[in-house]
Amino acid sequence: MQRAGWSSGTPSPVLAVGGAFIDRTPPWLKNFAVNNFGTHDKQILLAGIAVVLLVLSMLIGVLLVRRVMAALVLFVVLVAVAGAAVISRPHASGVDLVPLLLGALVGLWTLSIWRRRLLTEPAGQSRHTDEPGNTEPVARAMVDRRRVLGAALGAVVVGALMTTAGRAISGSARAVQQARAAFVVPKVPRPVTVPAGASVGVPGVTPFIVPSDEFYRIDTALVVPQVNPDTWRLRVTGMVEHEVEVDWPTLQTKPMQDAMITLMCVSNEVGGSLNGNTIWTGWPVRELLAEAGVKPGADMVLSTSADGWTAGTPLSALTDNRNALVAVAMDGQALPPEHGFPARIVVPGLYGYVSATKWVTELKVTTYAKDQGYWTPRGWSQMGPVKTSSRIDVPQNGTQVKPGANGKVAVAGVAWAQHRGVKAVQVRIDNGPWQTARLGTDASIDAWRQWVYEWPATKGQHTIAVRATDDTGAVQTSVQAAPAPNGSSGYDTITVTVG
């Protein structure tokens, strides 16, 4: 069991249905959700599921008036669908069905009460329907409408019970909060700091080190897993000489190091902000794999999170000289639950969908021929190397700008080419020549670089584009490509008016 609480699966019916929906989401729909809702995509999905559930619950209430069998059939189907979703989730067991079954029993009890009330004649109404001036049909119609409304509202309550029952008893974040509060970031022999000049000092540019509470979060977890470090284990399995298991106290005794690494989501559009740079602290993955002894023929490591999500990472990226870490801290603090507490994987140079496993519980040494990560069978490429790219942060697209006292406008942003490094950034105004921008100090080949171009602006509307060159001499491509299947490409381009 990895999470705080009695269940290791997903006992909440709504969360289980949402997880099953995400598992079957095609790349185009995933991109649509991320691009339009950003990090709020999960809240939108949960809200949509809740609305559908409430509508179906009200429909059950309405059917209860005249077509009780249809109401019961719809109720049973609703419970069955939710049950199938619950039992299909990673780490699921029969105990995960308990909240749903309890909610279903309460639902049947509530429906039976409303059914009996509907069959009871209103008190004070005449049984004779042939008396002159009899108003019983009108009165009964009014009462029936009230009862239909009551039944529908009762069914809504049942739906709410089914929605919240699982979540209410699925565990608490208290143990995680206490563990984080007690955690002391291990000392490292060579602490990494931000070099002077890394920031170009232009207001509005993304901070060189992004605070953890502002760091982007893209994953498939509808609710952040609360992983209790007291029960957490990280296992190395598969094509190894012997399996290794590391618990939380043992991990903290391992030789840690700092690494400044920019993470990147493959769903990031050109000019998008689904990336972030910070200092990570952790144990090199290559040392963990060395303890297990990797067998010949392996070429991939399948990492698994506490919620069952998987990533297929090239073995070479975890065993070469790059700073691939089992990270326990970011920006000098324990990992927030949203970013993988108690431990996660961080690999420079690869998009997160093939490397950045949060709440990591297993590293399976294997091959691409035998296994694949979560997103690969859903249309994304296997390897996922980050493409050289750049972004304009200021000025913003579509805005009106005024030159400064020096008659110039600062055009600035960030550029990245993780594990290759950024050598140069150039800016083009309209269809003019490419002009060289000033770069902030290089902190690491795995970190982005800020840049600024002091533009001698002229009045009118102008189009501004940016491109980067990595340390190998490769220039960012101008070819426009969508995120799927291996990351977006093209120049970030904006239009501004100088007034």
Tokens read off for 124: 């004070």
Tabulate helix, strand, coil % of the chain (nearest 5): 35, 25, 40
Q: What is the pLDDT of residue 52?
A: 74
Mean pLDDT of the chain: 84
Q: What is the pLDDT of residue 1?
A: 37
Rounded CA-CA distance 46/222 in Å is 8
Tell me the residue type at 309. Answer: W
Give me the percent of the chain exceeding a pLDDT of 90. Answer: 61
Q: What is the pLDDT of residue 129?
A: 46
3 state SS of 29: helix
Q: What is the pLDDT of residue 363?
A: 98
Rounded CA-CA distance 288/400 in Å is 53
3 state SS of 443: coil
Q: What is the pLDDT of residue 90?
A: 66
Task: Name the most confidently modeled range: 15-24, 67-76, 412-421.
Answer: 412-421
Q: Is the pLDDT of residue 17 over 50?
A: yes
Average pLDDT over residues 291-300: 98
Give which of 412, 453, 414, 458 is closest to 436, Cα–Cα: 453
pLDDT category of residue 142 using cuts at 50, 70 and 90: very low
Higher-scoring residue by pLDDT: 340, 80? 340
Average pLDDT over residues 196-223: 94
Q: What is the pLDDT of residue 91?
A: 62
Summarised one tens digit per residue, pLDDT across range 462-493 is 999 999 999 999 999 999 999 999 999 999 99
Rounded CA-CA distance 200/189 in Å is 29
Rounded CA-CA distance 496/461 in Å is 6
Q: Is the pLDDT of residue 499 over 90?
A: no
Average pLDDT over residues 260-284: 97
Summarised one tens digit per residue, pLDDT across range 82-113 is 777 766 666 666 666 776 677 777 766 766 66
Higher-scoring residue by pLDDT: 231, 114? 231
Higher-scoring residue by pLDDT: 34, 261? 261
Q: What is the pLDDT of residue 193?
A: 96
- Residue 276 DSSP symbol: E
pLDDT category of residue 448 using cuts at 50, 70 and 90: very high
Give which of 346, 362, 6, 356 is closest to 175, Cα–Cα: 6
Q: What is the pLDDT of residue 35?
A: 65
CB 335 within 8 A of CB 327: yes
Domains of the chain: 13-168 (no CATH), 197-378 (3.90.420.10), 389-498 (2.60.40.650)
Q: What is the pLDDT of residue 398?
A: 96
Rounded CA-CA distance 246/233 in Å is 6
Q: Region of 44 please: left (phi>0), alpha (psi -120 to 50) or beta.
A: alpha
Q: What is the pLDDT of residue 277?
A: 98
Tokens read off for 90: 């990673």
pLDDT category of residue 24 using cuts at 50, 70 and 90: low
Q: How many DSSP H helices and E strands does the chain contain?
A: 10, 19
Q: Is the pLDDT of residue 268 over 80?
A: yes
Higher-scoring residue by pLDDT: 135, 353? 353
Q: What is the pLDDT of residue 75?
A: 78
Q: Is the pLDDT of residue 376 over 90?
A: yes
Q: Is the pLDDT of residue 203 over 80?
A: yes
pLDDT category of residue 222 using cuts at 50, 70 and 90: confident
pLDDT category of residue 74 using cuts at 50, 70 and 90: confident
pLDDT category of residue 166 using cuts at 50, 70 and 90: very low
Q: How many residues can be counted in the chain? A: 499
pLDDT category of residue 72 using cuts at 50, 70 and 90: confident
- Please tell me the least confidently modeled range out of 37-41, 235-239, 451-455: 37-41
Q: What is the pLDDT of residue 10?
A: 56
Q: What is the pLDDT of residue 351?
A: 98
